[in-house]
Amino acid sequence: MPHTDGTVTITVNGEHKRVKAGLSLADLASQLGLVPEKVAVERNLEVVPRSTLADVQVEDGDEIEIVHFVGGGDHVAPVSDDDSWEVAGQRFRSRLIVGTGKYKDFAQNAAAVEASGAEIVTVAVRRVNVSDPNAPMLTDYIDPKKITYLPNTAGCFTAEDAIRTLRLAREAGGWELVKLEVLGEARTLYPDMYETLRATEILAKEGFKPMVYCVDDPIAAKRLEDVGAVAIMPLGAPIGSGLGIQNKVTIRLIVEGAKVPVLVDAGVGTASEAAVAMELGCDGVLMNTAIAEAKDPVLMARAMKAGVEAGRMAYRAGRMGMRRYADPSSPLAGLI
């Protein structure tokens, strides 16, 4: 029962507090300086759905646990010769993002991720294997406390399917930084930009921070940014093709016009092509097949790390200008 002063005593994360009777869980979170939409709340050992936090009132003697989800290690620590990059308020050192499909097993996948130096991995959202709940899981090999998981919508062909997938991902792991792709058809795996734009706008309004796979179109990229994309991810060539960067001019135009990070997503086949993407001024490169289908995925992962780093250094250094004719490196004066 409430005390005579109209308060109740509750326990929040192990600490006793007296709060106003009739306070909702959402109000409680706000009073604690938290954003209700970004936390999970357990009341008396039962999880309270976020959608009902404003409707559930605290009662005397309640035991409340409030948690949030950590997507990876500490990316805010200072870095020497800092050339880190930032997306949606999170800072990373590695500019290489790798996928988690097509490997022969999770162990090989984990070894490749370590060799690549990647701090972000894309993960597909799939149904739990209810017939074999003890089957190995990716999280047993790649620790989401050390590596940021980026849930994606691979295989979605409508905005509705993509949105539903990411809503489930957020409920399962609290992720708001996500990778959105809405495909047009199965042969080319090109993005359907109408559906992609529609999904981006809806997800952004729901608090998601979508990094968006798109065509290499500067106008489409600008529209995605306008409706809430936190990163633009144009394809360099069709997904899984390994054809390399086919569209240097349009990708460079996207880079020049964007106010959010730009990452090449799809088409890279080898380290030199990763370097090309970085020399264009991209903030990073995302790849899966190029590493997973290499004869030695772990060695290729190392090569991709080196390629991305070399391309980034070359971009920062500023390449020499091109000339139509030769220009001798050694002085001609004083020849014997």
Here the tokens at position 195 are 């559906």
How far apart, in whole angstroms, are the C-alpha atoms of residue 250 and residue 196?
Answer: 19
Tell me the chain's radius of gyration from C-alpha atoms.
Answer: 24
Give 270's contacts (C-beta < 8 A, 6+ positions apart): 242, 244, 290, 300, 303, 307
Q: Which of 17, 145, 179, 259 is catalytic?
A: 179
Pairing outcome for strands 85-87 and 90-92 = antiparallel
17 among known catalytic residues: no
What are the angstrom distances between the C-alpha of 98 and each of 10, 170, 254, 260? 45, 20, 22, 20
What does 107-157 look like in DSSP terms, one character per residue? HHHHHHHHHHT-SEEEEE-----TT-TTS--GGGTS-TTTSEEEEE-TT--
Q: Which residues are catalytic?
A: 179
